[in-house]
Amino acid sequence: MAEEKKDSFWKRISRKYRLSVLHEDTLAESWHVRLSWLGALTITTLMFLLTVGLLSALIIYTPIRHILPGYSEDLRQQLVSATERMDSLQNEMALQHNYLDLIKLVMSGEVATDTIQPLDSIEVVMREQLLEAKNEATQEFMAQYEEKEKNSFQLFDIQQNTPVYTLFRPASGVVVRHYNPQSGDFGIDIKTPDNENITAVLAGVVVYVNYEIDNTYTLMLQHSSYISVYRHAGRVMKKTGDAVKAGESIALASKEFPLSFELWQNGKNINPEEVIVF
């Protein structure tokens, strides 16, 4: 009896039905389909699964997933953190651009360098500044005396009416590349021991610190009369805006590169070996 009911149920859902579409005016059959309950259930199930699959793929692989509650919390936090870092980088880049623009103006002579009182440097007062009044005879005597005694001042860059300072060595070592502006060498290279201290040649202010692509640093210091540039430093110990004393350590030498040192005065490049004893 149970077997007959089962067969009856199976036959009932497997029985074919004809679905016809008739023309309204002529009642002629335009289209028809033969379908059983089992076939209709199968087609409906397949359509449902296809729809669910398409919607799932749409949500998973498109930006629509970000509108789901709780899904984009981590992403939102990452975006906020990235935005904060970007703002910090933009502010730092703006400061660096301002410093670079200022240095370019100073080095080109369009803006006078700041006056900074040196603390540890020995300032040599020019003889003509000690005289309250000068006549032609005095000027001639002073010229002859300075010509005779000029070798006594070979450590200084003597200029008329310009204060002169004692400059410290930027680092201990051997000069392996000399000043040669004709070939584009505006400074000198100093081969130093590993982790040798790099010191400020004069009292001043750190106006530029930048990390280079060769894994070294470049520092620039502004002094009362000079601008000193230190390239290929291994590790820096000062940051932009720090005031330093003459002879104070500002960085450590690189293990791979010699220290490149440049000296500028009133917007002009000068030979460091003429004013510093190495």
Residue-wise pLDDT for 206-257, tens only, equals 999 998 888 889 999 999 888 999 999 988 989 999 999 988 999 999 888 9
From residue 109, alpha-carbon distances to 157, 162, 206, 207, 270 in Å are: 19, 16, 19, 17, 14
Is 190 a domain residue? no
* pLDDT of the residue at 135: 59
Mean pLDDT across the chain: 77
* pLDDT of the residue at 154: 47
More confident site: 208 or 139:
208
For residue 53, give both structure tokens: 């699959």
Structural domain of 32: 2-63
Is 14 a domain residue? yes
Least confident of 29-38, 41-50, 112-121, 155-164: 112-121
Q: What distance lies between CA 66 and its chain's CA centroid? A: 33
* pLDDT of the residue at 155: 44
Alpha helices in 108-135 (DSSP H): 127-130
* pLDDT of the residue at 9: 73
For residue 158, give both structure tokens: 């003597």
Task: Indicate the pLDDT class of residue 110, thresholds 50, 70 and 90.
Answer: low
* pLDDT of the residue at 129: 47
pTM across the whole model: 0.43
* pLDDT of the residue at 111: 54
Task: Indicate the pLDDT class of residue 34, thresholds 50, 70 and 90.
Answer: confident
Q: Which residue has the tokens 């199976």?
A: 10
Task: Indicate the pLDDT class of residue 196, thresholds 50, 70 and 90.
Answer: confident
Tally the domains of the chain.
Answer: 1
For residue 29, give both structure tokens: 């059959």
Q: In a 3-state reduction of DSSP, which class is residue 182?
A: helix
* pLDDT of the residue at 99: 78
Is 15 a domain residue? yes
Is 49 a domain residue? yes
* pLDDT of the residue at 124: 37
Q: Answer for the pair 248, 256: CB distance below 8 angstroms, yes or no.
A: no
* pLDDT of the residue at 39: 79
Is 16 a domain residue? yes
For residue 98, give both structure tokens: 């301002």
Is 27 a domain residue? yes
Note the pLDDT tens digit of each residue in 62-79: 877 767 666 656 666 777
Alpha helices in the chain (DSSP H): 2-14, 37-61, 73-107, 127-130, 136-149
Is 226 a domain residue? no
Dihedral sign for Cα atoms in the order 168, 171, 175, 178: negative
Is 24 a domain residue? yes
CA distance 102 to 186: 20
CA distance 156 to 197: 23
* pLDDT of the residue at 208: 92
